[in-house]
Amino acid sequence: MKSYELLTIFKPNLDAEEVDKAIEKISSVVTEFGGSVASVDKSGRKKLAYEIQNFRDGFFTTAILSLPAEKVAEFKRQLRLNDTILRTMFMEVSQKASV
């Protein structure tokens, strides 16, 4: 399994409890697909550089997770279907080369 980093921007009209539930839902989808979540970092509410869906700010979270390569496309589809998410950035974490 490869390691990935997921940056998620949630809608600002959610309260902290709803954001926690949304993060828990994403974590359950990862475990359902045979992966695991190593850590979740909640950066808090931040101002956006430009408007997204008429919102000027959003709640930022970063998750480090591992997922089987064949499940990545389906996981991205599940993220797009989530109504509480404004934007996501999903990238592979590369291993640092030892010199």
Domain boundaries, the chain: 2-92
Contact 74, 33 (CB under 8 A): yes
Per-residue pLDDT tens digits for 49-77: 999 999 999 999 999 999 998 999 999 99
2-92 CATH pick, 3.30.70.60, 3.30.70.20, 3.90.1170.40, 1.10.3720.10: 3.30.70.60
What mean pLDDT, rounded, does the chain reach? 92
User: What are residue 87's DSSP bridge partners?
Assistant: 9
pTM here? Answer: 0.88
The amino acid present at 22, given as its one-letter code, is: A
Strands (DSSP E) contained in 12-54 are 36-52
